[in-house]
Each structure stands twice: as C-alpha cells, then as structure tokens.
Structure 1
C-alpha cells in the first residue's frame, strides 16, 4: 500500500462511524485501500468487534454467503443479531440508506463442523450436514453512496452490503428439484416477480464446503444451529420505507415483512 493511501484501520473507523451515524461514504478515497479478500474480511471482523455485534462469540450464528455463479469467488459475511428476525416482522425501527430485497433460501447446520471435517467436504456430501431449511429475505443496504461504482472488496468489507435478515418457519431439509423450484416475491405495489430455477449456484447447498472452510480457517469449530442464507433468486428488488414484502417458495414456505 502506498503510504498516502488510507489504512485498513482508517477504513474500519469510517465504516463504524457510518453505521453509528446512519450515513453513507464516498468510496473514491478508499478505492485502493484493500488489495485482497483476506484484508476485506479483516475489516469485516474489526467493524463487528467495534460495534459489539457478537460479544466474543467464536463463530457468529447467522451468515450470508454466495456468488454470481459457480465460477465466481464466493463471499461471506456474519450478520448482526439485532437485524435477524422471524417472520412476520417489522423493520421500521432500523435505519436503511437505499434498501433492496433479496429472496433466498436459508440452511441450518444439524451438527458441529470441525476444521478437519470442513477440509474434507465436497459439493456432493456437504448437504448431509444440514437439518433444516427456510425461506429468507435479506434487506440489502450499503454504507457506500454509489454502490454500483464501489469496488467489490469495499462491498465485502461492508458486510457484503447487508442490512437485515428475515427468516421463515424451519422445515426439515430434503432434496429439492431446484431447477424447477418457483420463487414469488412482491414488494409494495409492484407486480409480483416470479422466477423458476434461478438460484445463481443452481443449488443453495453447493456453497456449503466453501462457506464452512471460510468459517473454520482460523481453527474454530462451527456449532450446530449455525444458519446461512444462500443467494438471491430475484436479484435485488428495490423497496421503500413502509413497503410490505411477501416472498413464497412453494413447497418450502413463505414470509412477510414491513421495511
């Protein structure tokens, strides 16, 4: 890093101040601060520690993970507990800058996963670790003013632009024909968005080995009950404060929330 460039510590401080002050940042001064994903994750962790999100918990209980395709580098972020709620829920007490809605499926681990176990996982056997699934909705929100122009590493440092998460009723995990799975999402007065088989990884469980190796990379065991939401079937749908949102995955469940 050039000595004239802002440091990771300065970036952490700026993101903490933005969250505490419910305001956004211009990304341009920070563009060259991060060179690697590892540095972005260090900022993630430092912001969470400064805000006291996890109170020293070795592995946070709820995560987001995913990517645009199986050939993309998947990214991960632990989610602050205060923003994780059960359906139906009202998020009117939280502050958002420019929120959007992602319709997803979340998975829950049914057993502890050690670093040694995570190292041996593959995409064919990892789903055996999951005991339950549910419909989830992420409210995506950013501390960056112009998200489209913000580098990917700065988005990752900002908890992969997370705002809040809604979880539905858990049901036992079972094999699903994901290619024909429907998703129906309605935001406010907009038309219902209907998609079929549009998970970016084709199967939400595909990310499990990569996600679990990330969580165990420093030697921690991931406890049973840890939850991951796995990527949007509808992209990001714009929403406004006060909008009523409903999402249904027929055969899995449905949720509703107020932004």
Structure 2
C-alpha cells in the first residue's frame, strides 16, 4: 500500500502542477500487477472529487478489456470547452458512451444480454487523452493503467435514448479539429461491438462487490485515429444517425 500511495501522490502532483514524471524515477513504486494499478487509480480519485465515469477498452474483439475510473472534475459537457494549459498534451478520440437509469448493483444480472438491455442512454463523447509521464506512449502498461489509462478528460456531446438497433460496430463518422480532418468514413470499433465492454465492466464491478451509480458515464474506446491538437480550435464530431459533439480548445 505504501508504494501505491507514493505513486498516487506523484500522479496527483503532476496533475495539479501540469508537470511530467520520469518513469525511470518510479521504480520503487511500480505496480506489481493490474490490481495494484487499480488501487492507485482509486487513491487518485479520492483526492479528485470521486468518480463520474469509466473508460473501458480492448484492442480487438477477443482481447481482454481494461478499465479506468474517471475523476468527477474531468467529466463535463461540451459547452465547458478545453483549456490547453490544463493538460500536458491534448489527444483527441471520438467515442460512444453509455449510462444506466438505475444504480448497477446485485439486482442486475451479470448476463451480458441482460446488462446490454438495461442500458438507458448513449452519448457522443470525445476523450481528451493525456499522460502524466515523460516519453509517453513508451511507458510501462501498468504505469499507464495506474494513471487512469492516460485519460485527461471526457467531453460529453449529444445524449439520446439507447437505440439497440444502431450499428455500433461500424457507424459512419466524421471528426475534425480546426481545419484538420482527423477521420471521415465508416469507422470500425477495435473491440467489435463496444457494448460487450459495458457487459464486462458490469460483471467486473459486481464481482468485486461494488456498484456503478445511475448516470455514471461509461465510454468505450475510440472510433477514430488518435490526434494531438497543438493549437486552439473547434473540435467537431458527428456520428451519422446518432448525434454530434462540438467544443472549443482555447
């Protein structure tokens, strides 16, 4: 626990001072496994207003997912916009997030189909990808997991009632920052149908004896290539047949 507390303290300091940590200086507090990395996540969250969301992702339709809790102070609506000075870098990814109308606890079955049927809303979101480490992305995966899996913020756009008939695996999307077109066309989600990640997250949460409060935002990985914004500008994303997001980087 002492090692987890030390790493959490270093990550909090980096967040507050907008500085970067040298991974080589963290050998003594390196998480030994994913469980220890999740403990670090929780220690950081406790100092940042608690949890308002989760990010969950997987590199392929069969890969094991990983998740990260998102600090309440870093989940907000698109009208808030982004201040460049609040982040070491501003990486952009276009995603779909989900939420439940009721608390997710032991009353909800762990069966994937029943979990997916219980989804209440879906939102167009943009993840701001940031890291508290120098040399990222060439950083030990456990250090990245401890650092909220490189989350900087989650920006929420249009939110609609859940449509189970929507093509979540391959929607047509467009995504741009200022005058730069990041992506336009049919997007393939790396995890296949991202709703499987929601089912996994619920099962993991219930197995550990925890719950997910109603309206917690659950985002599921990017449909678009990763792009780092280096200048002020307006970010625009559209998921056809669903909705859009638009916010300013200033």
TM > 0.5 fold call: yes
User: What SS is found at the alignment partner of 1:88?
Assistant: helix
Q: Is the 8 A contact 2:91 2:229 kept in 1?
A: yes
Q: Structure 2 residue aligned with 1:72, among 60, 63, 66?
A: 63
Alignment correspondent of 1:57: none
Alpha-carbon offset, residue 147 of structure 1? 1.1
Alignment correspondent of 2:31: 34
User: What SS is found at the alignment partner of 1:147?
Assistant: coil
Which deviations, in whole Å up to 9, do the C-alpha atoms of 1:186-241 show, x marking residues without a partner?
A: 01221251141411112121111211133334422323222201100113111124
* Whole-Å separation in 2 of the counterparts to 1:19 and 1:193: 30
User: What SS is found at the alignment partner of 1:117?
Assistant: coil
Question: Is 2:44 aligned against 1:47?
Answer: yes
Question: Is 2:171 aligned against 1:181?
Answer: yes
Q: Is the 8 A contact 1:115 1:213 kept in 2?
A: no
Q: Is the 8 A contact 1:195 1:234 kept in 2?
A: no
Question: Is 2:66 aligned against 1:61?
Answer: no
RMSD: 2.0
Q: Structure 2 residue aligned with 1:231, among 221, 224, 247?
A: 221
Alignment correspondent of 1:206: 196
TM-score by length of 2: 0.90
* Whole-Å separation in 2 of the counterparts to 1:145 and 1:14: 13
Alpha-carbon offset, residue 162 of structure 1? 0.8
Mark the runs of 5 or more structure 2 residues left unpaired by the alignment: none
Alignment correspondent of 1:158: 147
Alignment correspondent of 2:83: 92
User: What SS is found at the alignment partner of 1:61?
Assistant: strand
* Whole-Å separation in 2 of the counterparts to 1:107 and 1:117: 16
Moved over 4 A (4+): none
Q: Is the 8 A contact 1:188 1:239 kept in 2?
A: no
Alignment correspondent of 1:3: none
* Whole-Å separation in 2 of the counterparts to 1:216 and 1:53: 23
Mark the runs of 5 or more structure 1 residues left unpaired by the alignment: 1-5, 55-59
Q: Is the 8 A contact 1:108 1:133 kept in 2?
A: yes
Which deviations, in whole Å up to 9, do the C-alpha atoms of 1:38-80 show, x marking residues without a partner?
A: 000001111122x2421xxxxx332111121133231212212
Task: Provide closer, same or farther for how the CA distance between residues 12 and 192 of structure 1 changes in structure 2, counting only shifts above 3 A.
Answer: closer
Task: Provide closer, same or farther for how the CA distance between residues 191 and 226 of structure 1 changes in structure 2, counting only shifts above 3 A.
Answer: closer
Q: Which structure has the highest strand share of the two?
A: 2
Provide the aligned length of Structure 1 versus Structure 2: 246
